[in-house]
Amino acid sequence: GAGVSQSPSNKVTEKGKDVELRCDPISGHTALYWYRQSLGQGLEFLIYFQGNSAPDKSGLPSDRFSAERTGGSVSTLTIQRTQQEDSAVYLCASSLRKYSYEQYFGPGTRLTVT
Amino acid sequence: AQTVTQSQPEMSVQEAETVTLSCTYDTSENNYYLFWYKQPPSRQMILVIRQEAYKQQNATENRFSVNFQKAAKSFSLKISDSQLGDTAMYFCALCTSGSRLTFGEGTQLTVNP
């Protein structure tokens, strides 16, 4: 079956602009995760969704970052007023349920803020 | 708080030989899972192997096996009969309470022909 998909694959934006990153999880997976991968910080957790609710959003680095999930499926990560330090690869993962533990990753979105 | 440490930033191995990647972790929880993920240049994170902390038996997946030492909080990955396609960044990861993954810094493995 289809894996986790993310769009766009690459995004270049100017400092100060808003961006939206999309994640389509594997069908039927109730848990969805966002991570950020950057040279200086490695792989960092951002937010976790169970269904449409986000019981753990402790990894969001600032209030410029927000995320939502609708219909228990698609998720959007929004970064407002982008800064150069936001440049990174944003990875989405999904798992069958909260306690299944195996997370399947999408190919990521490479965000470059100029 | 959970931490994962990979002390080998880079490793290389000859094709067909065996290599071991090291990982140590720390958590106060009793129930947790450990994983090795592979990230080739394509950027796609691929699950290689997983280990449940309550299982004493080491996990094995074809050429990949782990040495899980719970008391020492050590979780190494052994790759046998290395292939050129094994060249990638390898991440050790810890998952507790069914939520976030905590990753190590990664080990870049290069398999030489």
Chains A, B: CB pairs < 8 Å:
51
Place of tokens 């999904």: A94
Contacts B42 to A, Cβ<8 Å: 107
**Taking Cα atoms as reference points, which of A104, A71, A110, A29 lies closest to residue B42?**
A110
Q: Chain A closest CA to B112's CA: distance in Å?
A: 25
Instruction: Indicate whether A83 pLDDT > 80.
Output: yes
Q: Mean pLDDT, chain A, as a whole number? A: 93
Top-confidence residue, A17 or B99? A17
Mean pLDDT of A36-44: 88
Mean pLDDT of A101-110: 92
Q: Chain A closest CA to B102's CA: distance in Å?
A: 7
**Taking Cα atoms as reference points, which of B14, B13, B54, B7 lies closest to residue B34?**
B54
Give the pLDDT band (50/70/90) at residue A42: confident
Whole-number pLDDT of residue A2: 84
Sequence-separated (6 or more) residues with CB below 8 Å from residue B48: B35, B36, B37, B38, B61, B64, B77, B90
pLDDT along chain B (113 residues), means of 10: 94 98 94 94 92 91 96 97 97 86 96 97
B9, B43 Cβ separation under 8 angstroms: no
Instruction: Kindly provide the residue ranges of all beta strands, DSSP E only, lying in chain A, ordered along the sequence.
Output: 5-7, 10-13, 19-24, 31-38, 42-50, 53-56, 65-69, 75-79, 88-95, 104-105, 109-113
Whole-number pLDDT of residue A72: 87
**Taking Cα atoms as reference points, which of B29, B11, B10, B7 lies closest to residue B19?**
B11
Partner-chain residue, chosen from B37, B101, B105, that has the shortest CB–CB distance to A45? B101
pLDDT digits over A55-75, tens only?
899 999 999 999 999 998 999
